[in-house]
Chain A
């Protein structure tokens, strides 16, 4: 199946110092050469720590960031977010749900007006048909259609996130960018919203780009996962495969750092504790970006950045030490190496 979204060589760089006379420009390479596809009806999770560039990548797909280099194609057509017409057309197909539903809704607008706003901007229908659509959307996300007149402050956090989801669905998009959609919600509410998103995906064949740092949610929710570190993808693959057999040492450390909600299993497992912090994206290390924290680093890792290569059926990793060893031997050696 042809991909719905196809991203190739995407870079988003931010200039941080222009120096004297505009020379000597330095950049924060927030996204630095990323390739991935999302098929219709598929969810891909983007995981990584704060500052790794995952939200900037989402914003670039959404057209809120103009890429420095690379291409984004949607349904086979190259997207030029710089062009107003394309951007308007694409905003029907690509919508977003942010982390914090409180700041995502205008407190002075009724929730019905908020949900109808994208319809009004795109000139869809008249006031009456829009009101009908709002009622339909509200019941779709499990809220009462009569509540359209209320302001956001009449709703709880979980209900507000339902309203944000209803608004995102108003124009019948094909792709939703979900940037930490449940992180700001109470624990007892999260599973309600995750169930709703899974149900909507099944009913409308939606594709999701799911940005999250919560790996147990990612494991439950996503078909594929891409692990990002300092602006680059270091591992991608089917969620099941990546979680069962992480190849990149960063993926492995990330997975082992998430405490399991099971005291017996959690205390029996060996945690890989990485030393140090994420290096500054303005001054990434030469060679592999993970070299400063990597327990396996060798000389070559300090010299050249490793390419993303095939390490399994549909799994790819960018690691000089592991990925190459696996490739040469044609088998995957997971044990101590």
Chain B
């Protein structure tokens, strides 16, 4: 058996001295989809940026390793990291229009990484880009190849981004809320496309989202983040069936179900997500947690194995199932 494609261990990131990612460890195997779930400010996007080597200037990696196919991305030079980006690891973002160069035709943007990383001739690159456009389901690829982003709809721009990300067949694709800005019928198309490409190329996918429906549809495994830490991690069926962290439990229960009783009072999570730099002592979920005890106020729980499979970071995980 080969090792994981991506192996992140004990990663910590801070912005101007405030920790935003705190000791995150996760691994993704080839062809696997890992969903990183959490609310705004929980550190999920910063984790992705750290893996990509695209952290904003004010942010820095304090400790930890990010291994891609065995080599540590944190310690290598920016030069080598740039060679890996686009070739071995690629990323797609929430706003496809904002992530494309408005002044460059779609086709040129797609073939760029092929020319840079694989050194193919521009004629070969062009035919590969047109094939890729067709592969992601864009009609009339020859025409679209020459068009600019403003001439394409949002769904088509997102397809173009996926084409751009996957043309070099990267080992790892990071998708940060790839369908949040899209309508549901277009979202369905994009999710199907990502699954098909994963099946065909064996690309590992780190899927960042807050939509539990998308998670249920796409993920093989789920990692839930809260205030910079992974609080629970398990295979998708396991985590939806039983939770060992109260945040996961409550988060799943607050979503109205299509088969639930309408107009009833939904369970709520009291309070709000704590601001970065103002995380409480002990377990960071303790101010909002209905099962918190004395220990939770002072000691930060580490991820420990769940009784079945997966991990959870809660001092009172045996009380979680009785909630809601």
A residues with a Cβ closer than 8 A to B are 49-50, 156, 158-159, 186-192, 194-195, 198-199, 213, 215-217, 219-221, 239-240, 243, 253-254, 256-264, 266-267, 271, 273-278
Contact = CB atoms under 8 A, between A and B. Distances in A.
Nearest to A250: B185
A221 B264 CA distance: 9
B318 interface: no
Nearest to A280: B153
Contacts of B260: 220
B237 A264 contact: yes
Contact of A260 (B187, B213, B236): B213
B192 interface: yes
Given A49-B185, A219-B256, A243-B258, A267 B217 contact: yes
15 contacts: A49-B183, A194-B266, A195-B265, A220-B257, A221-B256, A221-B262, A254-B185, A257-B187, A259-B214, A260-B213, A261-B240, A263-B236, A274-B185, A274-B189, A277-B186
A254 to B, nearest CB: 6
Nearest to A48: B183
A15 B203 CA distance: 48
Contacts of A198: 263, 265
B212 interface: yes
Interface in B120-150: 139
A188 B266 contact: no
Given A186-B40, A262-B240, A277-B186, A216 B213 contact: yes
Contacts of A221: 256, 262-263
Nearest to B186: A277
Contact of A271 (B139, B192, B210): B192
Interface string B204-222: 0000001111111101000
* Interface of A: prevailing SS: helix
Contacts of A189: 269, 272
A277 B191 CA distance: 15
A263 B153 contact: no
Interface string B247-265: 0001110111110101111
Given A256-B188, A277-B153, 9 more contacts: A191-B266, A191-B268, A219-B256, A220-B260, A258-B184, A259-B214, A261-B215, A263-B237, A275-B189
Contact of B266 (A220, A259, A264, A266): A220
Contacts of B185: 49, 253-254, 257, 273-274
Given A194-B256, A219-B258, A262-B216, A158 B192 contact: no
Contact of A261 (B257, B266, B269): B257
Given A50-B183, A192-B268, A217 B237 contact: no
A264 B216 CA distance: 8
Contacts of A273: 185, 188-189, 192
Given A49-B183, A257-B188, A274-B185, A191 B254 contact: yes
Contacts of A158: 272
A201 B258 CA distance: 21
A266 to B, nearest CB: 5
B273 interface: yes
Contacts of A220: 256-257, 260, 262-264, 266
Contact of A49 (B184, B189, B240): B184
Nearest to A243: B258
B22 to A, nearest CB: 19
A188 B217 contact: no
Given A257-B185, A259-B216, A216 B258 contact: yes
